[in-house]
Amino acid sequence: MALDLLFFWILAGLILAAAWAVVNGNDIVHSVVWLSTVFLLTAGIFILAEAEFLAVIQVLVYVGAISVVIIFGIMLTKRTLKGGEDV
């Protein structure tokens, strides 16, 4: 039981740190990668709550599909390569 609590607080701290990195990053692609980290760690919280199937679906849907769609949206919009050249 005490070990569960320890893992919960570790996960909670990591989720909060990753969420802070999402809103505080300079680059929007970094933010999306941190956002997918938040989704992945949330699956860890679900496993601790003994909702294993929910955790699997969380990874499958949020990390596997939604983050990728967001990254797609960002990457398909206009940007310049670092160094100034237009893509």
Partner 1 sequence: MSLFSFCRWMAEWTANYMLIPVFDFQKNLFPPFSHPAGTIADWLGTDGGLDTLAWTFAVNIAFAIGMTNLILVIHLERKIAARIQDRRGPMLSFRSFRELGEDLAGEAPSWRFKDNYSGIGILQNMADGIKAITKELIVPAKADKFLFTMGPIIFISSSVFLLVLFPLSDRFAASSAPAGLMVIMAAFSIAPIGVLTSGWASNNKYSMIGGMRSAAQLMSYEIPLLLSMAGVFLLAGSFDPVTIVEQQQEGTWLFGLPMWNFIPQFLGFIVFMICILAEVERVPFDLPEAEAELVEGWTTEYSGIRYMLFLAAEYIRGFAGAAVCTILFLGGWAGPWPIPPEIWFLSKVYLILIFWIFIRWTVPRIRTDQILELGWKKLLPLSLINILIVIFMVEIYPYFSDIVNLPEVF
Residues that bind partner 1 (CB under 8 A): 3, 27, 29-30, 33, 36, 40, 52-53, 56-57, 59-60, 63-65, 67-69, 71-72, 75-76, 81-83, 87
CA distances to 2, 31, 43, 82 from 37, rounded to whole Å, are 25, 10, 10, 25
- Pairwise CA distance, residues 21 & 43, whole Å: 19
Which residue, 11 or 57, has its beta carbon nearer to partner 1?
57
Least CB distance from residue 44 to partner 1, whole Å?
A: 13
Which residue, 42 or 67, has its beta carbon nearer to partner 1?
67
